[in-house]
Amino acid sequence: MNLSLFGIGLMGTAIAHRLLQQGHTLTLYNRTQREFPDLQAQGATLAETVEAAISASSILILTLSDAQAIQDILLKPGLNLHGKIILQMGTIAPQESQAIAQTMQTLGATYLEAPVLGSIPEAKTGTLLIFVGASQNLFEQMLPLLKDLSEAPRYIGEIGTAAATKLALNQLIGSLTSAFSVSLALIQNSGVNLETFMDILRQSALYAPTFDKKLQRMVKQNYHNPNFPAKHLLKDMRLAQTTAATYGINTQIIDAVIAITQHSVQQGQGEADYSVIFSAINSPLQ
């Protein structure tokens, strides 16, 4: 299958590797023009222009950072998207996804949202959790491709529902990590044996696997080589905040996580793993 992938960041790169391994013909486009030697060695073609990437394939996969990037790249005047299928896999707000879908329709393109839960290892092994917002017929049409990236892609409903599902899950990433950071800081500062605390936590209904996944990063303060940078968590928490507010949901918890994450980003740690918020929490009050 001929595919064009827009946005070759951390997740985009991992998805590209997987698609190439599955035998697809892949054209790459990135706003920052650079070489991708590993992907090109696997057979990927690097498009120098948006127009070249669009014309190379009937299915355009978007792993772009936000809705503005989609607007800037694909919705510029003069681009011919007629007959194209747009597979949007990034994290954007439901309202943003619905607006993009309407614009794509006027341009003669077909749009579906398919945000993912999982990280670089899951992308490379085809075990991402994928949620789809689209018509049932379009979901079934795209299912073979989606199964190259996910063992069991899930149909959620119309455009916007999958985007909302993704935000609800990413909100948990921020809130759970923040809550665990507070508990870990309490334990460390109180002189309680860490393994004793973790043993109790693991046996309780309070436990979430993400706690162990991030524990050593926090203890060792090693936030290099992230799968999900703090700057992206901040973007997603802000989207969750805005979306929740439109429904009249109290956002005070989200507000607090945003403040903590924003502090880390402002301290120059935006590219670090999002667990860096532990360092912001376990710091003297300003």
Task: Give the pLDDT of residue 39.
Answer: 96
Task: Give the pLDDT of residue 33.
Answer: 81
Task: Give the pLDDT of residue 158.
Answer: 98
Residue % of the chain over a pLDDT of 90? 97
- CA-CA distance, 254 to 251, in Å (whole number)? 5
Q: What is the pLDDT of residues 184-218, one digit of tens each?
A: 999 999 999 999 999 999 999 999 999 999 999 99
Residue % of the chain over a pLDDT of 70? 99
Task: Give the pLDDT of residue 285.
Answer: 62
Name the CATH topology of 163-281: N-(1-d-carboxylethyl)-l-norvaline Dehydrogenase; domain 2 (1.10.1040)
Identical fold between 2-158 and 163-281: no
- CA-CA distance, 227 to 273, in Å (whole number)? 7
Domain regions of the chain by residue span:
2-158, 163-281
Q: What is the pLDDT of residues 242-283, one digit of tens each?
A: 999 999 999 999 999 999 999 999 999 999 999 999 999 998
Q: What is the pLDDT of residues 126-154, one digit of tens each?
A: 999 999 999 999 999 999 999 999 999 99
Structure tokens at 192: 């309680």
Task: Give the pLDDT of residue 286.
Answer: 55
Q: In the CATH hierarchy, which top-level class contains the domain 2-158?
A: alpha beta
Task: Give the pLDDT of residue 263.
Answer: 96
Average pLDDT of the segment spanning 158-181: 98
pTM: 0.94
How many C-beta atoms surround the C-beta of residue 259 within 10 A? 12
Which residues make Cβ contacts (< 8 Å) with residue 278, sequence separation at least 6? 177, 181, 184, 185, 214, 217, 218, 221
Q: How far is CA 97 from CA 45, 91, 164, 241, in A?
A: 28, 9, 10, 16
